[in-house]
Amino acid sequence: MEKRILGLDPGLASLGYGAISCHVVPGKKEENTVSLIDCGVIKTTPKQEMGQRLKTIYDDLHEVIEQIKPDLAIAEKLFFYKMGNTILVAQARGVLTLVLAQCGVPLFEFTPAQIKKALTGRGNADKSEVQEAVARELELGYIPKPDDAADALAVALTGWYDDDICPKKIPLETVQI
């Protein structure tokens, strides 16, 4: 069984995306695999008018979803640290949420600490530890660039690790005695 997960790292200047393919073999945990489909960023510039920046995110995210055809999306929950930046990220996040709803892609969210803990075992891990974990888990041999794309892959992997979002056990009703 294959599940495609689209990870999203919301931002106005740079919205990171990372898509993974998860293969689950019921009853054979050692055969479960995850692999990279694609990653990148949707960029806008401060020189653009705000409406145009949001339209770029809207159009480009539609294109990413059309190409990847994800079963679900995972986004990093909005983190409040600088009020001005938070408002800009919230606007981009609103567009992201709209596009996913229009495309019928369910959205799940994790906090930055949950993502760090899922990948490194520690909720306060630094960025380099998370990026190294992404490269290791996807067997890449390199750290994906730019950072926003690597962060989006970390978000997607967090969805893969969550058994509620991506079940890896055999449902009891399918077990034959």
Q: Is residue 162 among the annotated active site residues?
A: no
Can you tell me the mean pLDDT for 112-116?
93
Q: Please give the angle made by the CA atoms of 106, 14 and 103, to the nearest 5 degrees.
A: 25
Query: How far apart are the C-alpha atoms of 14 and 148, rounded to whole Å?
Result: 7
pLDDT at 38: 97
pLDDT tops 70 at residue 18: yes
pLDDT tops 70 at residue 79: no
Q: Which of 60, 137, 148, 151 is catalytic?
A: 148
pTM attached to this predicted model: 0.89
Q: How do residues 19-65 score in pLDDT, each as one tens digit?
A: 999 987 777 777 788 999 999 999 999 999 999 999 999 999 999 99
List the one residue out of 89, 64, 79 whose CA is nearest residue 6: 64
- Cα distances (angstroms) measured from residue 86 to each of 39, 82, 149: 24, 6, 19
Determine contact, residues 72/159, Cβ cutoff 8 Å. Answer: yes
Can you tell me the mean pLDDT for 14-18?
97
Q: Is residue 148 among the annotated active site residues?
A: yes
Q: Is residue 9 among the annotated active site residues?
A: yes
Q: Which residues pair with 75 in a beta bridge?
A: 8, 109
Q: Which of 9, 60, 137, 151 is catalytic?
A: 9
Q: Which of 60, 76, 137, 151 is catalytic?
A: 76
Which parts of the chain fold into alpha helices (H)?
50-68, 83-103, 112-120, 127-137, 147-161
